[in-house]
């Protein structure tokens, strides 16, 4: 059923004049007449009777009118639900305990009451899958980095969001457990276990570059049973350590006695990007990127991977690129 024909019928019934309905709808009176005639053919009854003053609904038209109003209202709500700025921002994060989710929640808490935000996880290790989801409109943005610019769809762009400094996470029996800070050089003799490194993922390339840059032993041997299992292993081990983001949220039993130790000289940082459409992005994304511009900047002595599409933000340099 043509919703514009139904809309024309409703306004003509309410105003009693085809000409007034046409003026309000921004079309000619002839167009309104044709729409209503087509609608009458579709429903199989006459909806209007001509009068000296204009038109008025027939008995069938009166019966049809409240349903027609519902059709028009439903169509208007459907359009409004996808109009930019009218629907919730739908954004993909790697995990609900990640720095991405932590800072996203901090941003949401700055927004006016009633601001909608739909946080999802695509469960895709390959960032090209996330880029395809942005391109298809399945999500408005995704926290992913496509490290090969040639693999980024032409209608999807990548903006630097923030960089997350890394910390060493160890159990109480680990040789470095008492350190207030460690350097990458001190990490060389120790096994750094990062289970769940997926081939082709951005973090796989990150850890490859990190290991090569500092001669570290980073491995993902064995199955990944989740964060809780990883924390249990660290608590029981005297030789296994892992790296976590400084803003990532991890919760463990007090008896585990785990230590989070900053890595310095240089600080190791993981750059986090946001994939979003090149044209007509959700209007909330501008405010989100502006919020990330206020995240604590990195120190001068920092190591970042060699991804050419990511520009680290320094003190005094706002914005996102």
Mark residue 26 as left, alpha or beta (left: phi above 0; alpha: psi -120 to 50; beta: remaining).
Answer: left
CATH number of 89-303: 3.40.190.290
When the pLDDT of each residue in the chain is averaged and rounded to a whole number, the result is: 88
Q: What is the pLDDT of residue 318?
A: 33
* Burial (CB count within 10 angstroms: exposed 0-12, middle 13-18, buried 19+), residue 20: middle
Region of poorest pLDDT, from 139-143, 233-237, 277-281: 277-281
What lies within 8 Å, CB to CB, of 261 at 6+ separation is 167, 168, 169, 170, 176, 179, 180, 181, 182
Q: How many residues does the chain have?
A: 321
**Proportion of the chain above pLDDT 90, given as a percent:** 64
The residues near 130 (Cβ < 8 Å, ≥ 6 apart) are 92, 122, 124, 139, 142, 144, 275
The answer, yes or no, to whether residue 309 has pLDDT greater than 50, is no
φ, ψ of residue 165 to 5 degrees: the values are -60, 145
- Read off the DSSP letter of residue 263: B
The answer to whether 137 touches 131, Cβ cutoff 8 Å, is: no
What phi and psi, each to the nearest 5 degrees, are found at residue 275? -90, 130
- What's the pTM? 0.68
For 104, left (φ over 0), alpha (ψ -120 to 50), or beta? Answer: alpha
What pLDDT is stored for residue 316 in this prediction? 35
32: which 2 tokens?
């309104």
Mean pLDDT value of segment 1-13: 92
What are the start-end ranges of the H helices in 44-154? 59-82, 99-108, 127-136
Instruction: Give the fold, CATH level 3, of 3-82.
Output: Arc Repressor Mutant, subunit A (1.10.10)
pLDDT for residue 39 is more than 90: yes
**Residue 206 clears pLDDT 70, i.e. is over it:** yes
User: Does residue 313 surpass a pLDDT of 80?
Assistant: no
- What is residue 35's three-state secondary structure? helix
Give the model confidence (pLDDT) of 271-299 as tens digits.
999 999 998 889 889 999 999 988 888 88
pLDDT reported for residue 115: 80
| Predicted confidence (pLDDT) per residue in 168-188, tens digit | 999 999 999 999 999 999 999
Range 117-132 average pLDDT: 88
CATH 3.40.190.290 domain extents, the chain: 89-303
Q: Name the helix (H) or strand (E) containing 236.
A: helix 227-236
* pLDDT top residue among 57 and 310: 57
What angle, rounded to 10 degrees, do the helices at 59-82 and 3-15 form?
120
Q: pLDDT grade, residue 53 (50/70/90)?
A: confident
Nearest 5°: phi and psi at 33? Answer: -60, -45
The average pLDDT across 13-41 equals 92
User: What is the percent of the chain with per-residue pLDDT over 70, rounded to a whole number?
Assistant: 93
The pLDDT of 254-273, averaged and rounded, is 95
Q: Provide CATH 1.10.10.10 ranges for the chain.
A: 3-82
């Amino acid at each position: 059923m043509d919703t514009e024909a139904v809309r024309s019928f409703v306004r003509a019934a309410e105003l009693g004049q085809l000409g007034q309905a046409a003026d309000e709808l921004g079309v000619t009176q002839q167009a309104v007449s044709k729409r209503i005639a087509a609608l009458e053919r579709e429903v199989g009854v006459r909806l209007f009777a001509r009068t000296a003053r204009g038109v008025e609904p027939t008995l069938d038209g009166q019966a049809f009118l409240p349903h027609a109003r519902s059709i028009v209202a439903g169509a208007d709500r459907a359009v409004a639900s996808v109009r930019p700025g009218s629907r919730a921002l739908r954004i993909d994060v790697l995990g609900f305990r990640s720095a991405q989710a932590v800072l996203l929640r901090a941003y949401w808490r700055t927004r006016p009451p009633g601001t909608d935000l739909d946080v999802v996880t695509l469960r895709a290790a390959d960032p090209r899958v996330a880029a395809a989801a942005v391109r298809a409109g399945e999500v408005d943005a995704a926290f992913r980095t496509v490290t090969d610019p040639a693999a980024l769809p032409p209608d999807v762009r990548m903006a630097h969001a923030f960089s997350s400094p890394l910390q060493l996470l160890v159990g109480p029996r680990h040789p470095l457990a008492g350190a207030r800070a460690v350097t990458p050089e001190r990490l060389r003799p120790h096994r750094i276990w990062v289970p769940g490194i997926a081939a082709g993922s951005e973090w796989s390339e990150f850890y490859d570059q990190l290991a090569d840059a500092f001669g570290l032993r980073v491995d993902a041997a064995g199955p990944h049973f989740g964060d809780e299992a990883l924390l249990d292993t660290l608590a029981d081990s005297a030789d296994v350590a892992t790296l976590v983001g400084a803003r990532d949220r991890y919760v463990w039993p007090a008896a585990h006695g785990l230590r989070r130790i900053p890595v310095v000289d240089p600080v190791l940082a993981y750059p986090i990007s946001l994939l979003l459409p090149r044209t007509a992005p959700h209007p909330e994304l501008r405010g989100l990127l502006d919020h990330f511009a206020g995240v604590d900047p990195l120190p001068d002595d920092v190591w970042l991977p060699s991804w050419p599409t990511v520009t680290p933000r320094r003190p005094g340099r706002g914005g996102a690129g």
